[in-house]
Amino acid sequence: MNVYLVKHHSLVNAIRFVFDVLWGVPSIVYGAFGFILMVFLGVRASLLAGIITVSLFIVPIMVRAIDESLKSVPRGLLESALSLGSTRSEISYRIFSREAFQGIITAILLSFGRAIGDAASVLFTTGYTDRIPTSLMEPSATLPLSIFFQLSSPIEAVQDRAYASATVLISMVLVISLLSRFIGNRRN
């Protein structure tokens, strides 16, 4: 999008538009889509199904965030590298990726933060269990669903666990946000 297709403005704009639209799709829709896929393929609720669904959900976020950081790389760098005889793959992976490295790390952390806090996309796909998963084909508990299920309980001790899950989740998201902010500031 920023090296090979740099001259195809309309195509790049169309790709960006598609990812922007996908970014705006509610995560429950991704969850429902993942569930339909699971039914079609005969796969039960499992960590793998959750990983695939959540990865579909965070793909637009990751692509647009990396794209934005790559857009900040000066165009002159591309022209200079081309004039020196660099191939486009060398420019992509040796120059642009290095220039935007911190932006890419920030994008990955942002995506991770969205993935860890989303409940709707894993509601149908990951299942819920009291055990720690030992394989990809086993269901797994997640913090957002732990809050959802345990807060519904009338037993106070179980509700307390939901609050503990919420505290842990907020702390994790906070650490990830601060880390991505720190990396972003270093880049600037």
In the complex, the residues that contact other proteins under the rule CB under 8 A are 1-5, 47, 50-52, 54-59, 62-63, 66-67, 70, 92-93, 96-97, 104, 108, 111-112, 115-116, 122, 126, 129-133, 136, 140-146, 151-154, 159, 161, 164-165, 168-169, 172
Shortest distance, CB of residue 50 to other proteins, whole angstroms?
5
Query: Quick one: tokens of 89?
Result: 């793959």
Q: 2 or 102: whose CB is closer to other proteins?
A: 2
116 Cβ contact list (under 8 Å, min separation 6)? 143, 169, 172, 173, 176
Shortest distance, CB of residue 85 to other proteins, whole angstroms?
19
Q: What angle do CA 145, 150, 155 make, to 5 degrees?
A: 175
Query: Quick one: tokens of 185?
Result: 């500031």
Shortest distance, CB of residue 59 to other proteins, whole angstroms?
5
The secondary element (H helix, E strand) that includes residue 164 is: helix 156-187
Q: 3 or 120: whose CB is closer to other proteins?
A: 3
CA dihedral angle for residue 100, residue 181, residue 172, residue 147, rounded to 10 degrees: -100
Q: 79 or 160: whose CB is closer to other proteins?
A: 160
Q: 57 or 124: whose CB is closer to other proteins?
A: 57
Q: 86 or 159: whose CB is closer to other proteins?
A: 159
- How far, in Å, CA of 114 to CA of 99, rounded? 25
Amino acid at 73: V
Shortest distance, CB of residue 188 to other proteins, whole angstroms?
19
- How far, in Å, CA of 172 to CA of 72, rounded? 29
Shortest distance, CB of residue 131 to other proteins, whole angstroms?
5
